[in-house]
Chains A and B, each alone.
Chain A
Amino acid sequence: MTVVIEVVGLRKIYSDVVAVDDVSFEVRKGEIFGMVGPNGAGKTTTIECIEGLRQPDNGRVNLFGVDPGQTRSAIAERIGIQLQDSSLPTRIRVGEAMSLFGSFYARQADSGELLERLGLIEKRSASFSNLSGGQKQRLFIALALINQPEVVFFDELTTGLDPQARRAMWDLVRQIRDEGRTVFLTTHFMEEAERLCDRVLILDDGKIVALDTPEALISSLEMEKRIVLTLPGAPEKLPLSDLPQVDRIERSGDRIVVYGHGERFAGPVITALEHAGIDFLDLRTEQPNLDDVFLALTGRDMRE
């Protein structure tokens, strides 16, 4: 497994704020690596230290085997960057921005095809200032891909995108990975990290809280799973309490919640109900997610 990014003991202090505090991790070639955490966690500081745009106060960063802070121009050819905060000249047109930025690189992607993929092709002659927030974001993502980068950095990938565009963006990022590129993204949407990333680093207050695949993070919690269902006219005694996977059952009228554990938990419950000839409606399983992981590890709720 080739390591493309190596961060060791990274620390960054702004006057009185320790923005990033002794952070170490590796990113492997060809993975979608996500850094997730609330606003102010230190995500942008970390990603920009890796991009060579900020200098760490302590520790070191290694990108393609060199220090990005020292050899920026060589590295800049091989990476793509979408910054959390940046802009373009107000009157530049979408197509012009693509060819201008393309001209800065030795290797260029087909800008028409990129605009097509990002749904901007009909906005080709629109001025930057006339684009909506989501269109601007998509243009910045197109610009990050203009040089066919080996590693792409997205800082707050889907900020400003509506849910439909967000899903399309996830597909695009998976395609980028499938082309053999490495993706490093930050987000403060736990769902995005969970659904999109191969591995997730949870950052809070400048420190690493956890780093693993979303599945491993979630199952490490050993949290109870829930099945919520409606049983009209079911008998008082349910055939479920004897199942080894079931921990307890809560009942209020027709609605019951079955708490349990195990990889396959819903299956036996459904089988047992069908076996007993009990009709059920609206069966819904509730899995713990990364929000629960964050809550369990930090004691704070990301959703607030």
Chain B
Amino acid sequence: MRGLKQLTVMNFKLYLREPIATFFTLAFPPLLVLLFGAMYGNDPSQLYGGYGTMDITMSAYTALILGTIGLLGVPITTSGYREQGVLRRFRATPMRPLTYIVADLLTNLVMTLLGMIILIGVGWALYKVRFEGQVLSVFVAVVFSGLTMFSIGYLIASLAPGARTAQVIGMVIFYPMMFLSGASIPLEVMPEGVRRIADFLPLTHVVTLLRGLWFGEGWGEHLTEVVVLGGILVVGAGLAARFFRWE
């Protein structure tokens, strides 16, 4: 995989030079903490099983970052690169397609982790948010959920004829999910009908899995999430690999 390191580092720099993408990955979630923290504080609540609003938003906003990158960032960048001919230029080199994909995945995962660190830093500084799980376990869950979301993104990029369409499809899928999955507003405060819809949204399962592991639950208690997300990952990545176009 010659060039993997250089491509990953370059992708990362390019990401940070995109003000909008960087804002939504790194700055938006902490801003939500400031906003909702000011409104609801972090007092333990019966509604959230004894945790405070800010305690549970840490894992929820992590899911939000994954959704933003996977459903908006990945399809917009990938289909844009294809439409402009950037992918054509890469294909004219000996760099292997797998190297390109791995570099892209690494960049997005690192951006996610960076977003999480800032988010948790702000949450901890202002509200001493609680973390009761195992770091490694949560890390694995973030990577696993990330791959799932990114595979949906690649699938959108592969199927959409152009960059505009990919962007619209990503937004149509992401925005309802953003509000109905518990990633930005806890499902506990949602009406029963919304919660029933939420069960069908992939991002809901990310929110549930991450929150569970965050507070010390085991993987065994989240087999549903693992199966659903794993299924999406396998099908999404398979279809994306099948339909991916370099030009």
Contact = CB atoms under 8 A, between A and B. Distances in A.
Interface stretch (B10-18, B185-193, B225-233): B10-18
B2 A104 contact: yes
Given A89-B81, A100-B10, A83 B89 contact: yes
A88 B86 contact: yes
B18 A103 contact: no
B32 interface: no
Chain A contact surface mostly: loop
Given A92-B10, A100-B6, A106-B2, A87 B93 contact: no
A85 B86 contact: no
Output the residue of B6, B84, B93 with the most chain A CB within 10 A.
B93
Interface string A83-107: 1011111011000100111011110
A13 interface: no
* Ranked 7 nearest A-B pairs via Cβ: A76-B94, A103-B6, A86-B85, A87-B84, A86-B89, A81-B92, A87-B85
Nearest to B246: A53
A77 interface: yes
B18 A83 contact: no
14 contacts: A72-B94, A73-B94, A76-B93, A77-B94, A87-B84, A88-B86, A89-B86, A91-B14, A96-B10, A99-B6, A100-B6, A103-B6, A104-B93, A104-B95
A87 B7 CA distance: 16
A89 B85 CA distance: 9
B86 A87 contact: yes
A21 interface: no
A105 B93 contact: yes
Contacts of B7: 100, 103
A91 B85 contact: no
A86 B88 contact: yes
Given A73-B96, A77-B94, A92-B14, A103 B88 contact: no
Output the residue of A83, A89, A91, A106 with the most chain B CB within 10 A.
A89
Contacts of A81: 92
B132 to A, nearest CB: 41
Interface in B50-75: none
Nearest to B77: A89
B92 A53 contact: yes
Contacts of A106: 2
B3 interface: yes
A133 to B, nearest CB: 14
Given A89-B14, A100-B3, A103-B7, A51 B92 contact: yes
A103 B90 CA distance: 12
A74 to B, nearest CB: 8
Contacts of A99: 6
A103 B91 contact: no
B88 A85 contact: yes
A15 B88 CA distance: 22
Contacts of B81: 89
A85 B14 CA distance: 22
Given A87-B86, A89-B86, A105-B93, 9 more contacts: A73-B96, A77-B94, A81-B92, A88-B86, A89-B81, A91-B18, A103-B5, A103-B6, A104-B93
